[in-house]
Amino acid sequence: MAVAALKANKLRAFLTLLGVVIGVFSFIGVMTGISVLQDSIESSFNVLGSNTLLVQKFPAISTGPESRMKYRNRKDITVEHGMFVRENSRLAQYVNVQASNWGAVVQFKNRKTNPNVQIIGGTPEIIYTQNREMDYGRIYNEQELQYSRNVVVLGADVARLLFPNEYPLDKSIRINGTPMRVIGVVAPKGGMFGGNADNFVLMPLSTFSNTYGNARWVNIQARAPDQPTYDAMTDEIIGLLRVVRHVPPGAENDFEIVSNESLISEVNNLTFLIRAGTGAISAIALLAAGIGIMNIMLVSVSERTREIGVRKAIGATKRTILTQFLIEAVVICQIGGLLGIGLGLAYSR
Same domain, residue pair 124 and 189: yes
Average pLDDT, the chain: 85
Task: Decide if pLDDT at 153 tops 70.
Answer: yes
pLDDT tens for each residue of 9-45: 777 778 778 878 888 887 887 778 777 766 765 555 5
* Pick from 3-12, 191-200, 250-259, 269-278: least confident: 191-200
Residues 6+ apart with CB under 8 A from 151: 140, 144, 180, 181, 182, 183, 203, 204, 207
DSSP letter, residue 50 = T
Could you tell me if residue 35 is inside a domain?
yes
Task: Give the predicted TM-score (pTM) of the model.
Answer: 0.68
Same domain, residue pair 235 and 277: no
Banded pLDDT at 193 (limits 50, 70, 90): very low
**DSSP alpha helices (H): ranges in the chain?**
2-8, 10-44, 65-72, 79-88, 126-129, 142-146, 156-162, 205-212, 227-244, 260-303, 305-313, 318-348
Please tell me the predicted confidence (pLDDT) of residue 295: 81
Q: What are phi and psi of 104, to 5 degrees?
A: -85, 155
Strand 151-154 relative to strand 178-186, pairing? parallel
Following DSSP, what letter does each residue of 155-223 receive, concatenated? -HHHHHHH-SSS--TT-EEEETTEEEEEEEEEPP---STTS-TT-EEEEEHHHHHHHH-S-S--EEEEE
Please tell me the predicted confidence (pLDDT) of residue 65: 63
Q: Which amino acid is at 157?
A: D
**Mean of the pLDDT values across residues 172-185?**
94
pLDDT tens for each residue of 39-84: 765 555 555 556 889 999 988 766 666 666 778 888 999 999 999 9
Please tell me the predicted confidence (pLDDT) of residue 247: 94
Longest dimension (CA), the chain: 104
**Mean of the pLDDT values across residues 253-276?**
75
Same domain, residue pair 239 and 285: no
* Domain-ending residue, one of 254, 280, 312: 254
* Pick from 43-57, 80-94, 105-119, 213-227: least confident: 43-57
Banded pLDDT at 168 (limits 50, 70, 90): very high
Torsion on CA atoms 12, 13, 18, 21, rounded to nearest 10:
160
Task: Decide if pLDDT at 192 tops 60.
Answer: no
Number of domain units in the chain: 2
* Domain-ending residue, one of 254, 279, 295: 254
Q: Which domain holds residue 231?
A: 75-254
What residues does 95 pair with on adjacent strands?
Answer: 222
Are 169 and 182 contacting, i.e. CB atoms less than 8 angstroms apart? yes
Task: Decide if pLDDT at 112 tops 90.
Answer: yes
Same domain, residue pair 273 and 188: no
Task: Decide if pLDDT at 114 tops 60.
Answer: yes
